Structure 1
Amino acid sequence: MIDDVISRLDDRVVVLEHRVEGAGSLADLMQRNALPQHTPAAHVLPLGLIGRAQDAGAGAYTQMFEEAVAVILTVRNHTPAGKRALEDLRGLIMAVVEALAGWAPADQTGVFRLTRGSLLNASKGTVVYQIDFAISDQLRVFS
């Protein structure tokens, strides 16, 4: 699903075209204590599963769950206090939300919903912001 989200952002958020990558790229940057060479940039990370209501009966177990993903945005700007970066960030955040909220990869039963967004870091002319999304699905186990 991460690859589908990356493709969707690459296609729908023009300013991120060819600047959306996965967890491996972010891990490499963190290991080198570096930032993306060109910004704005985005990294899509799996956040895990969130269990919801379950039901068991007649040889079957079903449970609703959500699969969560994060989009980490990095915007660099060298103006005083990063003012321009903060202004640009709002538009970028909304473009990402509009690209993913209400959409689902072809094999999913639910659609993505926005769960939260938060500022991770704002220093040295760079702003890093995380947007979390979740998509509903259903687990079915037959005994």
Structure 2
Amino acid sequence: MTSTRTKPTVVPFTHTATGTGVAQRVTVGGDAGHVVDVDTHPAFGGQDAAPSPLSYVLAALSSCNQITASIVAGELGVALGAWSFEVGGDLDTAVLVSGADGNANFDSVRLVVRVQTDATPEQFDRLVAETERRCPVTQLFRRSGLVYESTWTATPLAG
């Protein structure tokens, strides 16, 4: 697969996959050779032997926010400690399972974040705003038209 990389700041992401039925093994491109197994719920024809693609998408939301916030925190000069996330998504399966007209996307996605930090309230507000603006996965959700809600809470940095 050829990259469409058009400028030096673009990082290409690739993977290859093989599968049978609804189960798939994905090998992520790059030197590390990460392998991810994917299956789905029995309601969708799977064995539930591995997370579903939708579970991975929601996991990507929390992990991408943590990575992005870590970058932003470094720029703001604030420290971050332990994180906790709760992520939920509501999926109407009528399009996926029955072929109904409409959008197969989640109807809504919720992200609840708690992070230890030494940021002032003003710095924390800036951290959250910049993280959500710059996080590629957050932007995928926000721009897809679903209802996106997030709640961020700062807790004291453990000493």
TM-score, length basis structure 1: 0.38
The structure with the largest alpha-carbon Rg is 2
Q: Which has the higher contact order (CA 8 A, sep 6+)?
A: 1
Return the TM-score normalized by structure 2: 0.36
Q: Which has the higher strand share?
A: 1
